[in-house]
Structure 1
């Protein structure tokens, strides 16, 4: 079905010619053009483009000459949003290596899988996350051999009246373990890296996404696919070198990486970075730095608008509020527009597509809508079984073809084969999301084909949570489902069958506390219900869908939000 182009953004071409360059080149260009302009502002401390480039080069030199990083090596990046996160990303690229950005909320076992699966032997880690990364360091064995440890407060060089999180303000601590070196020492050595030898077709970044099998998979992205969404976002939103972006979405996630870091750097813009969401600090920074663009998920906007004294801040420079991950409630979008004059511009993408494949046009957005397929994207709604394209209005699976598609899953050819299909001679990604196209060509999500929970915009895959819960000695069986939640949209619930010897000795709260210690907070069950048995199909499989439907019916009937 030909795509409806009636509401395509005025003045933008349908085809976008992408630079045939390495992503690191974007930094070299912006540093040459705007050397004295702040790239990052971190709790009132600026870092210019020239300073950013110089520190990146020295860090890359350390990676190559001390850590032995070679072309194509995978390097783990585990930090909260900070100048060091951005510096680490570009230093890894400058060393001709591949960035493996991991969720800083991950616990030891979750990180262990990313480490062993990717084969990374070097990591750049923040000081506050050493308790989770430290157990993976083995300078002589199969674990991490080299760890560069960043201290956020090293980049707090200016006085500030902003509320700085304790973990950001914490002073540098001495390092005792073999294989670890302080970031400041690595940079101070001033080592110069060798030549840049990788190019647009080489691997650039490998974010991990979970799946129905329960094991996270590395999405192989080249410099070309990473370039696609960062350049596309800059063009779609008209980002210029004079833009000021509030960068509060996590950089480890492709949405924040592309829209709040890589895109602004390409444009030569300034990013105001917060390591932890704080609505008061965000409002002060919007006023102080005349923020023009804010990329946020719905929960951030809801919290921001709940600020009791929001009217005392000057938000008049805000020209764009954008995001995705979870639909923005209509009433919240209306309040945001009444306060700022800005519509919330929603988009849609996946780790497999390095962020957006669909974005609403700024001149004619629709609420709770994925938007239009962006530059060079062929998106269709097909019958999940026959892959036949469906007419407008009919619900089917959304499939996408475009320059931002990953190459496949790292060392997982079977999952790659199951994810991609050939339609009309093109390679399409099966998103697993059910949706429809309206008469104007806008895409809407209807439901999910895959088993997934969307908690505050984070994708939670029940099979992965269940696999982690089976490590609890008292759990015989577990089934994880989604429950409606007023703040998070959905939250995680686990139906648990205890082993007989533990019944009466372990409480639901005990299991919740254990889960919180052993997995990332966003995926940790917030509700646990003990049951005698779990329903099974004739083949013996747990009937999770039946339990999910029962919970959905209960939520709809009672209107209960846990």
Structure 2
């Protein structure tokens, strides 16, 4: 067991933490029992109590079961942050089914994979996303889409600046198979007894590796419960916390830090559908926000607002996050503004958020943190798999209660993702790092070929597969390119088919990509090449292109040596 970090372990916290032996649904039921009239959600000035939240969850769960959803079935949840996301998430679980959270930036061609892989028959989505999912109704297993307008939950007059999606009125969907959210809730079906326990499947966030399509990370109620409770205890949260939800709920960080954690302890979630720095400052002041989990780019944008100092931010007790390493200058400016250190953490979809968090009293800058409750983490030699010592670079591996069960329907990849050390099963993160003498972990590089653009994980092979659909592209290789604000961004190295040279411009490729894939995956730049470098065996030498791209960057202008994939 790795114990080097015990000397900096928070003195007021136990090293072992028992988590509830229940499903996540019990957390909501208990909070509704304890605090029925307490505000669970604030959505642009509209409040929703725990009693009302549980009532809607029960109603939607009953409808889902009436429509044939059975224990273990997968249901797609495809929408932006809104009260409906929380209702749908817990309704799916209440129906003993499995939540498949889908990034709302994904388009039709990307949704095809999620549907075929999960065999989901029902999708719950925001109405602005209906054009993306509707073409797939009746294909494969998908037979019903439940749609909702975010404006349905703006029930109190507000002077806040609402994003366009929230202002949009409810529209009737003249599409066979589309069912209105309000009709599903009003159907009056009561769900059967909830039978899911801690070891039943709970949520499948999708991740990806260096090859192939995105794959579902199988998490049980037990593993999801672990990081939800860990963060609450680590930050000493209570029922009186007011949490600002700016990170997307489909992402494990937002899901755990701003939804499941607060519901566990009966606190209040203030939801933003779209990021808006001025609105964030106003909400912190108006609702006396105590906790905010964000990413570095959000913090940078927040601080760049010249009016931010005119807001009362004194209610904040904790600010943390990751997604990319927090620049030292930004951390210092944030500390000056709020008086709080920025608490970084580290985890992945496979660990349903954090395995490592910085001690609140002794955080280190641009650091992943220390292993949290019951987590055993080591750095191993990539080739020999033997543990390394302090300040020796290798692959980070972790064992703990939050580790996933494996990849959905991919036993070979599951087997490769784990090793055995000291009789325990350790997950190979694919991230290269080291720990110092005190047991703090740091990131150095990555084994996996992943691009981290402002916390969004871009998998080159997935983007390449999509780009090969372009009629003019013969070959392409996706690499990362330095970016002053995002840390790194997506670049496409492209070889055009004969006859297209000089006729297809960079802008043509980028515009095509914008129509075919999520915005964060779209290449920011395209470089046309006569050929791509290959090894003597014909293997594409992507690393050579990658290194050449970063070598063009003047030394010292960017620091990409450290990043965190997920956060608290």
Same-fold call, TM cutoff 0.5:
yes
Instruction: Tell me the distance in 2 between the aligned counterparts of 1:30 and 1:558.
Output: 50
The match for 1:175 is: 173
The match for 2:308 is: 310
Counterpart among 359, 375, 380 of residue 378 in structure 2: 380
Answer yes or no: is the 8 Å Cα contact 1:214–1:465 preserved in 2. no
Answer yes or no: is the 8 Å Cα contact 2:2–2:376 preserved in 1. no
Answer yes or no: is the 8 Å Cα contact 1:43–1:160 preserved in 2. yes
Instruction: Tell me the distance in 1 between the aligned counterparts of 2:270 and 2:101.
Output: 20
Instruction: Tell me the distance in 1 between the aligned counterparts of 2:427 and 2:415.
Output: 10
Matching of residue 431 in structure 1 with residue 432 in structure 2: no
Secondary structure, in 3 states, of the residue corresponding to 2:552? helix
The match for 1:126 is: 126
The match for 1:299 is: 297
User: Shift of residue 214 of structure 1?
Assistant: 3.1
By relative contact order (CA 8 Å, sep 6+), the higher-ranking structure is 2
Superposition RMSD on alpha carbons, in Å? 1.1
Matching of residue 58 in structure 1 with residue 62 in structure 2: no
Instruction: Tell me the distance in 1 between the aligned counterparts of 2:543 and 2:167.
Output: 46
Secondary structure, in 3 states, of the residue corresponding to 1:414? helix
The match for 2:262 is: 264
Mapping of residues 511-526 of structure 1, within 5 Å: 511-526=509-524
The match for 2:482 is: 484
Instruction: Tell me the distance in 2 between the aligned counterparts of 1:490 and 1:3.
Output: 34
Counterpart among 195, 198, 222 of residue 196 in structure 2: 198
1:196 and 1:560, CA in 2 relative to 1: closer, same or farther beyond 3 A? Answer: closer
Instruction: Tell me the distance in 2 between the aligned counterparts of 1:296 and 1:470.
Output: 34
Secondary structure, in 3 states, of the residue corresponding to 2:488? strand
The match for 2:115 is: 115
User: Shift of residue 190 of structure 1?
Assistant: 2.4
Alignment deviations for residues 321-362 of structure 1 (CA, whole Å, 9 cap, x no partner): 011221000000000000000111000000000000000010
Instruction: Tell me the distance in 2 between the aligned counterparts of 1:35 and 1:55.
Output: 13
The match for 2:319 is: 321
The match for 1:8 is: 9
The match for 2:81 is: 81
Secondary structure, in 3 states, of the residue corresponding to 1:219? strand
The match for 2:68 is: 68
TM-score, normalising length from structure 1? 0.98
User: Shift of residue 310 of structure 1?
Assistant: 1.0
Counterpart among 348, 354, 357 of residue 356 in structure 1: 354
Alignment deviations for residues 249-295 of structure 1 (CA, whole Å, 9 cap, x no partner): 01001111011100000010001000000001100000000000000
Instruction: Tell me the distance in 1 between the aligned counterparts of 2:553 and 2:446.
Output: 18
Alignment deviations for residues 447-474 of structure 1 (CA, whole Å, 9 cap, x no partner): 1111111100111111111111101110
Secondary structure, in 3 states, of the residue corresponding to 2:56? helix
User: Shift of residue 556 of structure 1?
Assistant: 3.2
Instruction: Tell me the distance in 2 between the aligned counterparts of 1:150 and 1:411.
Output: 31
1:558 and 1:29, CA in 2 relative to 1: closer, same or farther beyond 3 A? Answer: closer
Unaligned runs of 5+ in 2: 560-568
Answer yes or no: is the 8 Å Cα contact 1:23–1:223 preserved in 2. yes
Number of residue equivalences:
558
User: Shift of residue 2 of structure 1?
Assistant: 3.9
Secondary structure, in 3 states, of the residue corresponding to 1:110? helix
The match for 2:91 is: 91
Instruction: Tell me the distance in 1 between the aligned counterparts of 2:474 and 2:489.
Output: 22
Answer yes or no: is the 8 Å Cα contact 1:483–1:555 preserved in 2. no
Answer yes or no: is the 8 Å Cα contact 1:244–1:269 preserved in 2. yes
User: Shift of residue 506 of structure 1?
Assistant: 1.0
